[in-house]
Amino acid sequence: MNPPTFPSPHRRRNPLTGSWVLVSAHRTDRPWLGKTERVDVPVVPRHDPACHLCPGARRASGERNPDYSGTFTFTNDFPAMLPDALPERAACGDLFQAEAVAGTCRVVCFSPRHDLALSQMDDASIEAVVATWMEEAAALGAVYPSVQVFENRGATMGASNPHPHGQIWAGSSIPSSTEAEDHHQLVYWRKKGRPLLTDYVEAETGDGTRVVVADEEWVAVVPYWAVWPFETLLVPRRPVRRLPELDPAARRSLARILHRLLVRYDNLFCHPFPYSMGWHGAPFGTDEAEHWVLHAHFYPPLLRSATIRKFMVGYELTAEAQRDLTPEEAARRLRDVPERHYLAITDER
């Protein structure tokens, strides 16, 4: 299978959501007056006593963190959802509808060290993070149908604290993006009798032009329908519906592939690469999920350098998403950078 590509402007469809993106590859030839310099990053200490997430620190709520030595989780001191909300729905005709949402929001500290990102952690430490995601998702999924594991890295993506951490929001309602993916995967399953993402992974590994990193268990690609310049999609080769269902081999492999992918992000511009990452899996509490395949989306905003980012404005806000850099070229650039972190190479010089 050779996916269609064109040198002239064209649209590509996202089969997971049904949305489209306008690809305008010819625009990369236009003059660019923006700066592309490397940005010096301030030195971050191993431990910051003023950081609310460091071991032994006191959080804004007054609670004191334990002197943890691995991962550490706690309920967000300022959660977006509350567990005691009533499961109510209300409507005033077709135009005004609302429903109450019950839920909880958990914070996951990836490491006791204040100065490390996932890209700088070793495989064993990343595997511990994966195990924590799995444990938290299983516990929350026993109560709520929706469990959203995500990470915002960097101030550019709204992370208010540089300490390596992510969040898990669990709620009584299925979010819109999960609902859209559920619908389109189900439609594909009923038509083909196979999971959409299983077929997609096979097609991408056969083509290879958008694959960034891959091993025997996982494949990371710049998806054919990518919106963000260096967006990636991480999918298992063997169908898995939810994070808690990963077996030990898939968990170990996931830690390795995350490290390889995230090092490439940082090495692209020799800068801590900002992104929002989120896992999508089948809703909990149902066995009717054969059409689902677990996957992670990475949405980084950087475009040309550590200081030049993609903005969703104008046409993107009022019409549909648009990109200049093709997914194929983005994948090639990510493949071409070293797998050793640039800071490790610099330290040896």
Mean pLDDT of 5-23: 93
The number of beta carbons lying within 10 Å of the beta carbon of residue 252 is: 17
Closest CA to 210 of 65, 334, 25, 77: 334
> 212 or 303, which is more confident?
212
Residue range 15-73, pLDDT digits in tens: 999 999 999 987 765 544 444 545 666 788 999 999 999 999 999 899 999 999 999 99
Position 347 pLDDT exceeds 70: no
The pair of three-digit structure tokens given for residue 86, joined into one six-digit string? 């009533």
Residue range 233-262, pLDDT digits in tens: 999 999 999 999 999 999 999 999 999 999
Structural domain spans, the chain: 42-348
Mean pLDDT of 205-232: 97
Residue 139, C-beta contacts closer than 8 angstroms, at least 6 positions apart = none
Transcribe 64-89 into DSSP letters. Answer: B----SS-EEEE-SS-SSBTT----E
- Backbone conformation region of residue 302, classed left if phi is above 0, alpha if psi is from -120 to 50, else beta: beta
- Give the per-residue pLDDT at 345: 76
Residue 224, C-beta contacts closer than 8 angstroms, at least 6 positions apart = 3, 12, 204, 210, 327
User: How would residue 349 be classed by pLDDT, with cut points 50, 70 and 90?
Assistant: low
Three-class SS of residue 106?
strand
User: How would residue 91 be classed by pLDDT, with cut points 50, 70 and 90?
Assistant: confident
Rounded to whole angstroms, how far apart are CA atoms 105 and 167?
A: 7
Q: Which helix (H) or strand (E) holds 147?
A: strand 146-153
Q: Are 230 and 330 in contact (CB under 8 A)?
A: yes
> Active-site residues: which are they?
165
Rounded to whole angstroms, how far apart are CA atoms 338 and 166?
A: 26
Residue range 141-163, pLDDT digits in tens: 999 999 999 999 998 888 889 99
Report the topology of domain 42-348. Answer: HIT family, subunit A (3.30.428)
